[in-house]
Amino acid sequence: MKRKALVLAGVGAAALAVPSVMTFAAEDFGKYQVGDTRSGYTFAKVETRAIQDDDFENPGMLWVEHGEEVWETVDGKAGKSCKSCHADASDTMKNVGSTYPVFAKDIGKLENVENRINRCRTDNMKAKPWKYDSRDMLGVVSYVKRQSFGQPMNVKIDGGAASWFKKGEEFYNQRRGQLDMACKHCHVDNAGNMIRANTLSQGQGNGFPTYRLKWQKPGSLHRRFRGCNKQVRAKPYKTGTDEYLALELYVMWRGQGLPVETPAVRN
Amino acid sequence: MNTRRIALGGIALAGLVAFAASATLSGAAEYKVEDEAIKASLTGKAGDAGNGKKVFLNRKKGNCLACHVVASLKDQPFHGQVGPPLDGTASRWKEGELRLRIVNSKIVNKDTIMPAFHRAEGLHRVLKKFKGKTVLSAQEVEDVLAYVMTMKE
């Protein structure tokens, strides 16, 4: 623990000492760019990145902390907490954020972290499932994914996941809504271009739940999908549906190699 | 006397219903494409450039600045870069070619991101509120076109 703190302090001091180099090196996005794959971080304003980078300033960290509390809290008829079965999250959850969604053989379908958690709540804790964007769900998902912080995204798209991947890819490339656009028209063909006041990014999912300055609150990836559907005047799907699960897998695959950034900060 | 009036009322009503039904079914005006252009006005009337400018700027209507830069509109914030600047576009294209691009650009470039502003069918999962409706009415297309026609080099 001590060593880590020292190293971090060292990095901080180095950054402070050479601000001009930092500005000149703006195009070197370090771990946030892998080949042509770029995190939304690299399209964000410098001030927004600075908020994300500072654990004390990053408001998403409040949800991570709330998640840690919930992790340890007994709930439901079985009288258990997450911790009762999963013990130390930094050990048992360390690969979850970088590998989900996964094909869960026992239920024969694709599962993301939210749905897996709700399965634990209903089946293992005998507790009520959480709504996707409730404070507890956002908190625990943020806490669980935070355990993979910095790990490269590495989702599996073969085996049982293959047909889901294909559906997600089709969704991504299908035009929809009165404005008749597909995800790819904005996030592939026009990444880097301004649309109105926004710089379009590649629409990566590696930072979710993401704290949005506009909402003053974090949001799930599926909430983002709903927003991106509605802005082209298309009927969104409900959070947690098969359509969005498939899309989530495709979106996460597009970001293979990018580090888990949870909680990312965007505007 | 009385019966005759009732009968007439009935015909008028039936007429209205039929009209309404055909309007929702087709949503968009009919037009003919030739030489990659729509040469005739969609309404048979000329456009009003003044109203066209309003529709062009309105974020719930044309919202054209979301994707295009227009130098003469630099008093307006946030011009997008997704499409080419429209300055001088009326010198590059004929009126009928521009009308086609506003009505449905996909007729000339099937991969374009530019929405078809006057198309109501063949769309996937349109929000209920917009279902069967075009983004711009036929006259609004003519008005925007009249405004775009002022963008000469």
Instruction: Check residue A27 and give its pLDDT.
Output: 72
Distances (CA, A) of B53 to A137, A200, B43, B103, B115: 47, 26, 18, 16, 18
End-to-end Cα distance, chain A: 32
Residues of B in contact with A234 (CB under 8 A): 124-127
Neighbour count for residue B27 (Cβ, 10 Å): 16
Question: Under a CB-based contact definition with an 8 Å cutoff, are residues A113 and A147 in contact?
Answer: no
Asked if the C-beta of A174 comes within 8 angstroms of chain B's C-beta atoms, the answer is yes
Min Cα separation A189/chain B (Å): 9
Q: Which helix (H) or strand (E) holds A38?
A: strand A37-38
Contact A176 B67 (CB under 8 A): no
Cα gap B134→A135, rounded to integer Å = 39
ipTM for the complex?
0.85
CA–centroid distance for A205 within its chain: 5
* Res. A14: pLDDT tops 70: no
pLDDT at A248 over 70: yes
Task: Measure B95 CA to nearest chain A CA, in Å.
Answer: 23
Q: Is the pLDDT of residue A17 over 50?
A: no
Q: What percent of chain A lies above the pLDDT cut of 70? A: 90
3-state SS string for B67-86: CCCCHHHCCCCCCCCCCCCC
Q: What is the pLDDT of residues B33-91, one digit of tens each?
A: 999 999 999 999 999 999 999 999 999 999 999 999 999 999 999 999 999 999 999 99
Higher pLDDT, B12 or A116: A116
Residues B46 and B44: their CA atoms lie apart, in Å, by 7
Q: Flag if B124 and A230 touch (Cβ within 8 Å).
A: no
**Averaged pLDDT for residues A94-115:** 98
| pLDDT at site A28 | 86
Distance CA A139, CA A170 (A): 31
- Across A79-90, average pLDDT: 98
Cβ distance of B125 and A176 shorter than 8 Å? yes
Q: Which two tokens stand for residue B137?
A: 């009415």
Out of A176, A190, A229, the one facing B113 most closely (by C-beta) is A190
A228 is catalytic: yes
Burial class (CB in 10 A: 0-12, 13-18, 19+), A249: buried
Tell me the sheet residues that pair with A222. Answer: none
Bond prior to A101 in cis (omega within 30° of 0): yes
Containing A211, the helix (H) or strand (E) segment is strand A210-212
Say how far apart CA A53 and CA B118 lie, in whole Å. 46
pTM: 0.91
Give the pair of three-digit tokens for residue A191.
């990444």
B5 touching A, CB under 8 A?
Answer: no
**CA–CA dist A9, A17 (Å, integer):** 12
**A189 touching B, CB under 8 A?**
yes
Structural domains of chain A sorted by starting position, each given as residue range(s) with its CATH number in brackets: 24-267 (1.10.760.10)
Distance CA(A127)–CA(A74), nearest Å, equals 10
Count the neighbouring beta carbons within 10 Å of the beta carbon of residue B99: 26
Among A178, A183, A228, the strongest candidate for a mutation testing the B interface, having the largest count of B CBs within 10 A, is A178
d(Cα A9, Cα A16) in Å, to the nearest integer? 11
Chain A contact for B85, CB < 8 A? no
Q: Which CATH architecture group holds B5-148?
A: Orthogonal Bundle (1.10)
B113 and A234: CB-CB below 8 Å?
Answer: no
Q: What is the DSSP letter of A160?
A: G
How many residues does the structure list for chain B?
Answer: 153
More confident residue, A14 or A216: A216
- The reported pLDDT for the residue numbered A266 is 98
Asked if the model's pLDDT at residue B138 lies above 50, the reply is yes
User: What's residue B27's pLDDT?
Assistant: 85
**pLDDT averaged over every residue in chain A:** 92
| The pLDDT of residue B7 is above 50 | no
- Please answer yes or no on whether B125 and A196 come within 8 Å at the CB atom: no
The whole-chain average pLDDT of chain B stands at 87
- Inform me whether the C-beta atom of residue A134 falls under 8 Å from chain B C-beta atoms: no
Tell me whether A180 touches chain B (CB under 8 Å): yes
pLDDT band at A186 (very low <50, low <70, confident <90, very high): very high
Cβ–Cβ below 8 Å for A177 and B127: yes
pLDDT band at A39; cut points 50, 70, 90: very high
Q: Decide if pLDDT at A91 tops 60.
A: yes
B107 interface with A at CB cutoff 8 Å: no
